[in-house]
Amino acid sequence: METKRIVIEDREHADDSQLKEAARILRSGGLVAFPTETVYGLGANALNEEAARKIYAAKGRPSDNPLIAHISDFSELDQLVREIPKAGKILMEAYWPGPLTLIFPKSSKVPYGTTGGLDTVAVRMPSDPTARKLIALSGVPVAAPSANTSGRPSPTTADHVWEDMNGKIDMIVDGGPVGIGVESTIVDVTEEIPVLLRPGAVTLEMLRELLGEVKIDPAILGPLKDGLRPKAPGMKYRHYAPKADLTLVELSDETRLQLHNLDSRLYKETVKAMKEAGCSKDLTPEEFCLAYHVKIMGEEALAQGKSTGIICTDETRNQYNHGLIRSMGLRSKEETLAHNLYGVLREFDDLNVDCIFSESFSEDSLGQAIMNRLSKAAGYKILKV
């Protein structure tokens, strides 16, 4: 199969004529990758079971991993869902269109091939103008998981999609880099108390502010138990992973406590070391200590002859002088970390490193999504120091 690529110069004002062929492909059961505000999606007609099978085949994705159906308007929801619970209505009103996916009871029109065999369906209305225009022109809800080989870091540029999907799909709509950089938040509203299944730009704090109580699915914190069927994408299988062995380095609770105790020996030694190193005043003792341990691990791997990658932030970048060092952005601006996460992981793939050591991040707000993706990318290989 020859994959066609079209370029949209202005995603805010994409012309119908530019997207007409892509819409026709989707309507007729083909595969089209396109940009959203989160990551690039691999689209197919969500009501066509054969088209859904093509998505699974192109990605090499397990068939029990549900797909998300994307719509362009609230009126399109009726054909997908059997009912809309109260929590769903509240969240739709607040965050649609946007980076939020909701789990509803599915209608009889939605094939089990789209839902991974479940009686629920995941639905999202993206805010990206090109994505919504394409869905509207196609005239069908569009199932669209991330447009990458299953398990690899998600694509945030059309070049990432081309690398994984060229020759496997009909078309790529190239709209340039995406905005957010991590997949949508997923919330199950079919239960009495809504459940967060995957963190994203709509944070747990934002959800609880609107709904009150919101439960967190255990799959966010660790691997899904064997034999359980995933209710949403990204829950069961290893995801977002680079080719290299990735270790996520985290400070232990005891270390954090000592670094917050101004009288502790560790705090005093750390502050002294920071002064001797001439650290920026913006760098905290926690960040310095974390970077120190990541640096030591990287140097040990290099001494063993391994090509080594280091994932850090702009604040800690100057603490490293060995290995292939890549900053994800500013720790003080979590949106930069999310935006650059998958690009950094893919860059290390291109560099063919043997191992990667990454700093950990706060699990508040958007940091929860960043840590969720990194933990899964590392196969939950987290070293507490």
Answer whether the bond into residue 97 is a cis peptide, omega within 30°.
yes
Nearest alpha carbon to residue 100 among 238, 229, 209, 197: 197
| Residues sharing a CB contact under 8 Å with residue 173, sequence separation 6 or more, in sequence order | 6, 8, 19, 22, 32, 33, 34, 35, 130, 134, 158
CB neighbour class for 290 (10 Å; exposed up to 12, middle 13-18, buried from 19)? buried
Nearest alpha carbon to residue 142 among 237, 223, 69: 69
Instruction: Report the helix count and the strand count for the chain, using DSSP H and E.
Output: 12, 16
Nearest alpha carbon to residue 320 among 358, 360, 375, 374: 358
Q: What angle do CA 145, 377, 226 make, to 5 degrees?
A: 80
Strand pairing class (40-45; 120-124)? unpaired
Predicted confidence at residue 44, as pLDDT, reads 98
Predicted confidence at residue 268, as pLDDT, reads 95
pLDDT tens for the chain, 385 residues long, are 899 999 999 999 998 999 999 999 999 999 999 999 999 999 999 999 999 999 999 999 887 789 999 999 999 999 999 999 999 999 999 999 999 999 999 999 999 999 999 999 999 999 999 999 999 999 999 999 999 999 899 999 999 999 999 999 999 999 999 999 999 999 999 999 999 999 999 999 999 999 999 999 988 877 766 666 666 776 655 678 999 999 999 999 999 999 999 999 999 999 999 999 989 888 999 999 999 999 999 999 999 999 999 999 999 999 999 999 999 999 999 999 999 999 999 999 999 999 999 999 999 999 999 999 999 999 999 999 9
State phi, psi for 53 to the nearest 5 degrees: -60, -35
Instruction: Return the number of other C-beta atoms located less than 10 Å from residue 214's C-beta.
Output: 18
Q: What is the model's pTM?
A: 0.94
Predicted confidence at residue 234, as pLDDT, reads 62
Q: How many CA atoms lie within 13 A of 240 on its CB side?
A: 28
Predicted confidence at residue 228, as pLDDT, reads 62
Predicted confidence at residue 235, as pLDDT, reads 62
Predicted confidence at residue 105, as pLDDT, reads 97
Predicted confidence at residue 8, as pLDDT, reads 96
Predicted confidence at residue 224, as pLDDT, reads 65
The type of residue at 352 is N
Predicted confidence at residue 62, as pLDDT, reads 81
Write out the E strands in 111-200: 120-124, 142-143, 171-174, 185-188, 195-198
The tokens describing 66, both together, are 């549900």
Distance CA 34, CA 23 (A): 11
CB neighbour class for 245 (10 Å; exposed up to 12, middle 13-18, buried from 19)? middle
Distance CA 6, CA 157 (A): 13
In contact, 229 and 210? CB cutoff 8 Å: no
